[in-house]
DNA sequence: CAGTATCCATTTCGATACTG
DNA sequence: CAGTATCGAAATGGATACTG
């Protein structure tokens, strides 16, 4: 656990545990449905495995996370006390959405974006059979510029290589633009109208996209009045 | 600001700012009504002035805190975005109250306790004129063992020396016990009944104490069922 | 899959003293 | 009152490689 504050105040006692770097992001990942070590790693790619391991131990010791091993599969879940952090993490996300709008270039990780998008595809709404989407980020070179989402009835896969199936729709934009849409900083329609994002392919799919390609759970957070991006100026 | 997480997730962006050590405790102090540099220091005694200064600058730059200088008096206040952290800090305090019950010996700071108590005295309920309370912590030696609370119509003062006025009531217990009462881990009546705390003095005052000597704002947080301390066993 | 082990550059921060 | 200056010990944690 982190260093002590030398205070009996419950806020201080809570923060001794929770203000350690990465800790609440692990809770966020557990909330989002990652329960295996390597699934957590995918959602926290900049965290070294040693550090993730250490934080998980700390959280288990603190009673916030429960570790179960079934055979040689290990899973992590929030305990009752961990589940009581969910509204706090949600509130932090809403606060961040409202007040920390500017993203640095280092924040624009295409792999994380695809990983997020894939997690929230509405399987009920997607047409039956296989649906393949191709995302092209015009400002990224090499394998980071093209991503395939392969949606089957049994799940969604993310590929950074051509899986060889027919592509139903191609989504082309700068990476930042697509991230801003995902975050709810921009609306689909406005962005398309402004020419910053192009949907090409199956007309049916193009029209239906916003119904089954969901946005971030924080996207609908109301913004402070002065901070609304327009379709054209993204400053 | 803290190191970047390299994530566009608003929780991560929020935590880049907020998970830096001491940061949310400064917000807590501002919420509690400390607005001057040295008042903040009294609520954060283990923080060096250099670090407090640095954190305040960071918070001002992030737009969470506003700094005003009127003449040579400088004040700090929460901005609109900072005020939106209030429910989050409150939730963290409630979470800490419920789930982080054990206090280490380093957490038992008598000066902080007196500072907290003095802040929440209900001036409306206190009898008119001067009221002086003496707290005696049986397990503390030297000046840390005796504290006077001098309540006038114009405010409350904390002294670690005898101010020389007549004492209306003496409160005697171990420091940990008084802190547990303040935090709401124990009830006044139970603790007195168990002989762990003694109130001596003006009968009127003894009876009225709980009405004007308020407990921590988190004291009334409901505890998880299994974690209730009884009057006698404080494990 | 689920982690450990190691290494060291970097950061952090507590203590103390000092200033306009 | 409201900070700045300085310093060194300690911890943090990122990178990388490796293991059962």
Mean pLDDT, rounded, for A92-110: 96
Q: Which residues of B touch A8 (CB under 8 A)?
A: 103, 107-109, 112-113, 179, 182-183
Cβ distance B104 to A21 less than 8 Å, yes or no, reads: no
Average pLDDT for B198-214: 90
Give the DSSP letter of residue B141. Answer: -
Q: What average pLDDT does range B193-222 have in this prediction?
A: 93
Confidence at residue B88, expressed as pLDDT on a 0 to 100 scale: 98
Please state, in angstroms and rounded to a whole number, the distance separating the CA atoms of residues B12 and B25: 19
Closest CA to B29 of B13, B15, B47: B47
Calculate the angstrom distance between C1' of D5 and CA of B121. 39
Longest dimension (CA), chain B: 62
Read off φ and ψ for residue A152, nearest 5 degrees: -110, 175
Q: Is the pLDDT of residue A230 over 90?
A: no
Predicted local distance difference test score (pLDDT) of residue A1: 72
Judging by DSSP bridges, how do beta strands B131-137 and B146-152 pair with one another? Answer: antiparallel
DSSP string, B46-63: TS-HHHHHHHHHHHHHTT
Question: Between these two residues, B183 and B231, which has the higher pLDDT value?
Answer: B183
- Asked if residue A235 has pLDDT above 90, the reply is no
Task: Quote the pLDDT of residue B124.
Answer: 87
- Specify the CATH superfamily of domain A105-212: SCP2 sterol-binding domain (3.30.1050.10)
Over residues A40-51, the mean pLDDT reads 93
Q: Is the Cβ pair B21, A3 closer than 8 Å?
A: yes
pLDDT tens per residue across span B115-172: 999 999 998 888 888 999 999 999 998 889 999 999 998 889 999 999 999 999 999 9
pLDDT for residue B229: 55
Q: Which of A15, A45, A92 sits opposite B14 (nearest CB)?
A: A92
The predicted-structure confidence for A168-193, as pLDDT tens digits, reads as follows: 999 999 999 999 999 999 999 999 99
Q: Which two tokens stand for residue B11?
A: 């929780």
Look over chain B and give the mean of its residue pLDDT values, rounded to a whole number. Answer: 92
Question: Is residue B232 pLDDT above 80, yes or no?
Answer: no
Locate the chain B residue with the closest alpha carbon to A218.
B10
Region B103-108: what's the mean pLDDT? Answer: 94
B2 vs A contacts (CB less than 8 Å) = 21
> Mean per-residue pLDDT for A152-162?
90
pLDDT at A232: 47
User: What is the pLDDT averaged over residues A203-210?
Assistant: 88
CB pairs < 8 Å spanning A and B? 189
Q: How far apart are CA B44 and CA B52, in angstroms?
A: 9
Judge whether residue B180 has pLDDT over 50.
yes
What the block records as the tokens of B195 is 């002989």
Model confidence band, residue B234 (pLDDT cutoffs 50, 70, 90): very low
CATH architecture of residue range(s) B10-99: Orthogonal Bundle (1.10)
**Alpha carbon of B26 to those of A19, A221, B45, B59, B155: distances in Å?**
13, 26, 12, 9, 23
**A7-35 residue pLDDT tens:** 999 999 999 999 999 999 999 999 999 99
Residue A39 is given by DSSP the state H
Mean pLDDT of B56-60: 96
Query: Does B127 contact chain A (CB < 8 Å)?
Result: no
Q: Cβ contacts of residue B221 below 8 Å, gap of 6+?
A: B93, B94, B97, B98, B184
Beta carbons of B104 and A4 less than 8 Å apart: yes
Average the pLDDT over each of A13-22, A154-163, B36-45, B54-63 and give the range with the smallest value.
A154-163
**The pLDDT of residue A227:** 57
CA–CA distance from B87 to each of A96, A129, B52, B82, B96 (Å)? 14, 46, 23, 10, 14
Query: Which of B2, B3, B4, B14 has the most A C-beta neighbours within 10 Å, making it the best mutation to test the interface with A?
Result: B14
Q: For all residues of chain A together, what is the average pLDDT? A: 92
Which of B15, B63, B96 is facing A99, going by the closest CB pair? B63
Domain boundaries along the sequence of chain A: 10-99, 105-212
* Cβ–Cβ under 8 Å, residues B163 and B200: no
Q: Which helix (H) or strand (E) holds A112?
A: helix A110-120
The rounded distance, in Å, linking the Cα atoms of B4 and B12 is: 8
With cut-offs at 50, 70 and 90, classify the pLDDT of residue A228: low
Angle between helices B23-32 and B49-61 (to 10 degrees): 80
Chain B from 32 to 61: CB within 8 A of any A CB: 45-46
Instruction: Kindly give, in sequence order, each residue whose CB lies less than 8 Å from that of residue B125, ignoring residues fewer than 6 positions away.
Output: B208, B211, B212
The answer to whether B70 CB is within 7 Å of strand C is no
What average pLDDT score do residues A42-58 get?
Answer: 94
CB atoms within 10 A of CB A139: 12
Q: Is the pLDDT of residue B233 over 50?
A: no
Count other C-beta atoms under 10 Å from residue A1's C-beta.
12
- Chain A contact set for B89 (CB, 8 A): 11
Render the burial of A160-199: b for 16+ CB within 10 Å, e for the rest: eeeeeeebbbbbbbbbbbbbbbbbbbbbeeebbeeebbeb
Comparing every residue's Cα with the C1' atom of nucleotide D14, the nearest one is A48
Beta strand A131-137 with A169-173 is: parallel
Cα gap A139→B188, rounded to integer Å = 66
Assess contact for A197 and A171: CB atoms under 8 A.
yes
Work out whether the CA dihedral B183, B187, B190, B193 comes out positive or negative: positive
- Please give the structure tokens belonging to residue A169: 């729709």
- Position B62 scores a pLDDT of 96
Residue B1 has a pLDDT of 72
């Amino acid at each position: 656990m982190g260093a002590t504050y030398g205070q009996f105040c419950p806020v201080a006692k809570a923060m001794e545990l929770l203000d350690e770097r990465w800790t609440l992001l692990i809770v966020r990942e557990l909330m989002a449905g990652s329960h295996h070590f390597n699934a957590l790693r995918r959602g926290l790619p900049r965290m070294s495995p040693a550090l993730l391991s250490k934080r998980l131990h700390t959280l288990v010791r603190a009673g916030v996370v429960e570790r179960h091993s079934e055979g040689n599969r290990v899973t992590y879940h929030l305990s009752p006390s961990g589940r009581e952090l969910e509204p706090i993490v949600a509130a932090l996300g809403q606060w961040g959405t409202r007040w920390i709008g500017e993203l640095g270039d280092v924040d624009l990780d295409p792999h994380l974006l695809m990983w997020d998008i894939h997690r929230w595809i509405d399987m009920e709404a997607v047409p039956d059979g296989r649906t393949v989407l191709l995302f092209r980020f015009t400002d990224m070179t090499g394998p980071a510029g093209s991503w395939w989402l392969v949606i089957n009835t049994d799940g969604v896969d993310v590929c950074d290589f051509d899986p060889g199936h027919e592509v139903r729709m191609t989504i082309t934009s700068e990476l930042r633009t697509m991230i801003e849409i995902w975050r709810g900083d921009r609306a689909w329609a406005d962005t398309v109208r402004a020419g910053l994002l192009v949907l090409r392919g199956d007309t049916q799919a193009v029209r239906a996209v916003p119904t089954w390609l969901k946005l971030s759970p924080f996207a609908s957070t109301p913004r402070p009045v002065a901070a609304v991006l327009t379709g054209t100026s993204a400053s």
